[in-house]
């Protein structure tokens, strides 16, 4: 593997990969948002059609995708804050790498209990209640 | 000494030459600023929405038509959802516009991709707004 170029903020380092992830999560969330407004619009058709489409959100596979969605939104939000600090805080650019590890830590700390509660029902339905 | 020669057609203009095409606008500056301001507001609106809808009190399993009817009986949640819809759609559309500008190299491709984006976004914002304002809990 080629060595990381030195002296640049972005190429090959944390700055570049956070930027790549910011774009991927942003595009993914945008396409979900288009779909989500359409499915919610079914409340204007009938309660039955809305409940039918919402039932698919409760299936195990889509439930797992929701964890991915929440993870993508949470990353985009935390990295967005990091970008704002890089732009507006005088010491932001100097600490951009430390801020990357800070948002990674916050992401994991929030996603672990979040994933537990999001998948609780699915696990209980598939494997029975542990308690 | 000879007089300075006229610059040829391919030369670089001298420093501080006034811009010939002086139709500069601050649109990109406002778009950059909007992403940051709307981003901060969306952190509260969207993460709050995801926490309520997907994590707390049984998460997505408890959502159905009656749940939506209960929430949208309150102007607070109507306003929350309306603001979230508009800010998220403009924020997302502006992000997609930036990405199209970055990766679509042909002028025609860039133009038509952005037209498709604006039509899809405009339709979605109008549909969502209509649904929030005309929601009828006694439908069907």
Chain-chain contact of B139 with A74 (C-beta, under 8 angstroms):
no
Cβ–Cβ contact B39 with A under 8 A: yes
B45 belongs to a structural domain: yes
Cβ–Cβ contact B55 with A under 8 A: yes
Q: What is the 3 state secondary structure string of B27-62?
A: HHHHHHHHHHHHHHHHHHHHHHHHHHHHHHHHHHHH
Cβ–Cβ contact B88 with A under 8 A: yes
Distance from CA of A98 to the nearest CA of B (A): 21
Q: How confident is the model at residue B8, as a pLDDT?
A: 54
What's the whole-model pTM score? 0.85
CATH code of the domain containing B70: 1.20.1300.10
A2 vs A50, more confident: A50
B17 belongs to a structural domain: no
pLDDT confidence tier of residue B25, bands split at 50, 70 and 90: confident
Q: What percent of chain A has pLDDT over 70?
A: 89
Q: How confident is the model at residue A6, as a pLDDT?
A: 58
**Six token digits for residue A20:** 């790549």
CB neighbour list of residue B12: distance below 8 Å, 6 or more residues apart? none
B14 belongs to a structural domain: no
B9 belongs to a structural domain: no
Chain-chain contact of B139 with A87 (C-beta, under 8 angstroms):
no
Q: How confident is the model at residue B29, as a pLDDT?
A: 94
A2-11, B8-17, B107-116: segment of lowest average pLDDT:
A2-11
Q: What is the 3 state secondary structure string of A4-72?
A: CCCCCCCCCCHHHHHHHHHHHHHHHHHHHHHHHHHHHHHHHCCHHHHHHHHHHHCCHHHHHHHHHHHHH
**Six token digits for residue A55:** 């039932």
Condensed to tens digits (0 to 9), the pLDDT of residues B32-85 reads: 999 999 999 999 999 999 999 999 988 899 999 999 999 999 999 999 999 999
Q: What percent of chain B has pLDDT over 90?
A: 72
Residue A4 has pLDDT above 60, yes or no: no
Average pLDDT, chain A: 89
Could you tell me the residue range of the domain that residue B34 belongs to?
28-134
Task: Give the residue from B85, B102, B121, B124 with the most A CB atoms within 10 Å of its CB, the best one to mutate.
Answer: B124
pLDDT mean over B129-138 = 93
Q: How confident is the model at residue B1, as a pLDDT?
A: 46
**Six token digits for residue B112:** 């038509």
Chain-chain contact of B61 with A58 (C-beta, under 8 angstroms):
yes
Q: What percent of chain A has pLDDT over 90?
A: 74
Chain-chain contact of B92 with A30 (C-beta, under 8 angstroms):
yes
B107 belongs to a structural domain: yes
Condensed to tens digits (0 to 9), the pLDDT of residues B5-20 reads: 555 556 677 777 776 6
CA distances from A9 to A5, A97, A104 (A): 9, 10, 19
Give how many domains chain B has, as a whole number: 1
Residue B23 has pLDDT above 90, yes or no: no
Condensed to tens digits (0 to 9), the pLDDT of residues A25-35 reads: 999 999 999 99
CB neighbour list of residue B67: distance below 8 Å, 6 or more residues apart? none
Residue A7 has pLDDT above 80, yes or no: no
How many CB pairs (< 8 A) connect A and B?
A: 104
ipTM of the complex: 0.86
Chain-chain contact of A26 with B92 (C-beta, under 8 angstroms):
yes
Task: Give the residue from A10, A39, A54 with the most B CB atoms within 10 Å of its CB, the best one to mutate.
Answer: A54
Chain-chain contact of A38 with B136 (C-beta, under 8 angstroms):
no
- Alpha carbon dihedral B8, B11, B14, B20, in 10-degree steps, equals 90
Q: Considering only CB atoms, which residues of chain A are within 8 Å of chain B?
A: 23, 26-27, 29-30, 33-34, 37-38, 40-41, 43-48, 50-51, 54, 57-58, 63, 66, 69-70, 73-74, 77, 80-81, 83-84, 87-88, 114, 117-118, 120-121
Average pLDDT, chain B: 89
pLDDT mean over A104-115 = 96
Which domains are delineated in chain A? Answer: 14-123 (1.20.1300.10)
Cα nearest neighbour of A35 on chain B:
B124
Chain-chain contact of B39 with A54 (C-beta, under 8 angstroms):
no
Cα nearest neighbour of A51 on chain B:
B64
């Amino acid at each position: 593997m080629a060595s990381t170029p030195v002296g640049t903020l972005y190429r090959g380092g944390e700055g570049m990969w956070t930027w790549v992830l910011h774009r991927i999560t942003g595009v993914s969330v945008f396409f979900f948002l288009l779909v989500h407004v359409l499915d919610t619009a079914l409340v204007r058709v009938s309660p039955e059609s809305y409940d039918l489409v919402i039932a698919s959100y409760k299936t195990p596979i889509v439930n797992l995708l929701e964890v991915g969605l929440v993870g993508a939104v949470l990353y985009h939000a935390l990295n967005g804050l990091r970008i704002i600090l890089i732009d507006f805080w005088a010491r932001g650019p100097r600490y951009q790498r430390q801020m990357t590890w800070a948002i990674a830590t916050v992401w994991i700390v929030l996603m672990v209990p979040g994933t537990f509660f999001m998948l609780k029902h699915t696990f209980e339905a598939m494997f029975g209640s542990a308690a | 000494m000879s007089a300075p020669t006229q610059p040829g057609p391919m030369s670089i203009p001298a420093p501080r030459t006034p811009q010939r095409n002086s139709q500069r606008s601050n649109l990109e500056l406002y778009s950059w600023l909007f992403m940051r301001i709307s981003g901060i507001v969306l952190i509260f609106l969207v993460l709050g929405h995801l926490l309520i809808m997907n994590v707390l009190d049984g998460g997505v399993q408890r959502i159905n038509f009656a749940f939506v009817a209960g929430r949208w009986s309150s102007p607070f949640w109507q306003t929350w959802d309306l603001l979230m819809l508009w800010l998220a759609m403009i924020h997302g559309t502006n992000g997609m516009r930036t990405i199209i500008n970055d990766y679509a190299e042909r002028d025609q491709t860039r133009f038509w991709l952005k037209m498709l984006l604006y039509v899809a976004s405009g339709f979605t914002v109008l549909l969502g707004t209509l649904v929030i304002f005309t929601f009828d809990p006694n439908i069907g």
